[in-house]
Amino acid sequence: MEKIDDLKLQMYVDNELSNEGRAAVENYIKNNSEARSLVESYKKINHLVSSTYSQIKSDDLPKRTLDLLMDEKPSLISRLLNYEVKLFPALGAAAALMVVVSFSLNILKIDNNPINPATLMSENKRHVVLNELQDILKDSEDSLSGIVSFKNKNIEYEEVKSYLDARGRECKDIKFKNFVIKDAVINEATFVKLSSGEWKVTKLEFIKDSSVGI
């Protein structure tokens, strides 16, 4: 019979033994109270070490390290708070933006709002647009920016944010330039990567406009 020493007992606690080894130790500690007490003591130490640091995993993760990994550009608000953006020009820009918003902005969520955006884009065209957008992210790994051709027009796009949503899915916010369809100027789209690996557009931001589109 194999000798069962202190190291073997620790290997048992650390799941380092084969099935036969485990059975031998279990048989041994059944009849040996000292060995049983040692095993209990080693298990308790493992449990206490693990409990000591258990809170750490669920804590909020350090933002500066996450920013490093997300390559996230700081928001306008955080830049303002850090005085990276001059306050008066920024306030002027914000005021101008509010005027524009009050007259013409219409930001709509495709999935969550059953009333729109059919009023701005026909069902048929919307699918064409969404399919086209989803193609942009095919096989992409790195930060996105570039030009996509849509109905013989070149549309510039750029990734503005990459993050994980509440369900842990990878998301990307893509900003567009010169993307006009009928009476809608498409500004930004949010893509979510599905478990199948495909990208799906879950949010589209656009402005109702009188410009002539594609």
Provide the minimum distance between the beta carbon of 187 and another protein in the complex, in angstroms, as a whole number.
22
Smallest gap from Cβ 39 to another protein, in A, equals 11
**Closest distance between another protein and the C-beta of residue 23, in Å?**
20
What gap in Å lies between CA 129 and CA 121, rounded to an integer?
A: 10
132 scored as a contact of another protein (CB under 8 A)? no
Of 175, 173, 153, the residue nearest 165 (C-alpha): 173
Q: How far apart are CA 12 and CA 24, in angstroms?
A: 10
Binding residue count for another protein, defined by CB under 8 A = 37
The reply on whether position 158 binds another protein by CB under 8 A is no
Contact between 212 and another protein per CB under 8 A: no
Amino acid at 86: K
Among 64, 99, 139, 210, binds another protein (CB under 8 A): 64
Nearer to another protein, 15 or 113 (CB): 15
Task: Single out the segment in contact with another protein by CB under 8 A; choices: 86-94, 120-128, 138-146, 174-182.
Answer: 138-146
Hunting for tokens 């879950």 — which residue is that? 202
199-208/145-150 β-pairing:
unpaired
Paired tokens of 180? 């006009």
Contacting residue, 23, 26, 27, 46, with another protein by CB under 8 A = 46
Distance between CA 51 and CA 146 in Å, rounded? 49
For 134-151, letters b (16+ CB in 10 Å) and e give eebbeeeeeebeeebebe
Q: Which residue ranges make up the site for another protein (CB under 8 A)?
A: 6-7, 10-11, 14-16, 41-42, 45-46, 48-57, 59, 61-62, 64-66, 68-71, 141-143, 162, 164, 170
